[in-house]
Amino acid sequence: MTESNKKIMEPVEIISMKLVKGEDLNHHGTLFAGRTTEWFVEAGFIATTMLVSPEKVVCLKLHEMHFTKPIRLGQILKFQAKVIYTGKSSLISYVQILNPEKKKPYVSGFITFINVDGNTKPSPHNVEILPETEEDIELNEIAKGLNGKIKNI
């Protein structure tokens, strides 16, 4: 794909759900941060693969996971994820974990994924994200700052 064949698009949100079970809990009886991270990265990965082939995506960096309150046994969690910024080979997803009935997230943050070639070297993906909503423009600016901290990808 050449520069003229670049795919330009708005962020596309994906939604997935999880049930918190006993094996997902820590010694406090709340959702274990390790399991939360697994699900968080998975949601970001799925959003990324809506734009590029899953075989070409690797996770580079989890920028943050901001927890606001504990998650308990039996809760249903809604994962909202979207690629909010693209660099040359990088794609930054914004992920939120929510109670399906409420707007305030339990967890939110950003993850950088890299599009790679067959030798796992960064490879251009030819996708450009153009945010349109006020929220997406703000998230894009935050992600742009995160991408600036990573060397030219």
Sorted by where each begins, the domain ranges of the chain are 3-148
Q: Would you state the pLDDT for residue 150?
A: 67
129 burial type by CB count under 10 A (0-12 exposed, 13-18 middle, 19+ buried): buried
CATH: 3.40.30.10, 2.160.20.80, 3.20.20.70, 3.10.129.10. Which one for 3-148?
3.10.129.10
Q: What is the pTM of this model?
A: 0.92
Question: How far separated are the first and last CA of the chain, in Å rounded?
Answer: 17
How far is Cα 32 from Cα 10, in angstroms, rounded to an integer?
33
Q: How far apart are CA 110 and CA 4, in angstroms?
A: 29
In this predicted structure, what is the pLDDT of residue 6?
86
| pLDDT one digit per residue (tens) for the chain, 153 residues | 445 688 898 999 999 999 999 999 999 999 999 999 999 999 999 999 999 999 999 999 999 899 999 999 999 999 999 999 999 999 999 999 999 888 789 999 999 999 999 999 999 999 999 999 999 999 999 999 987 766 656
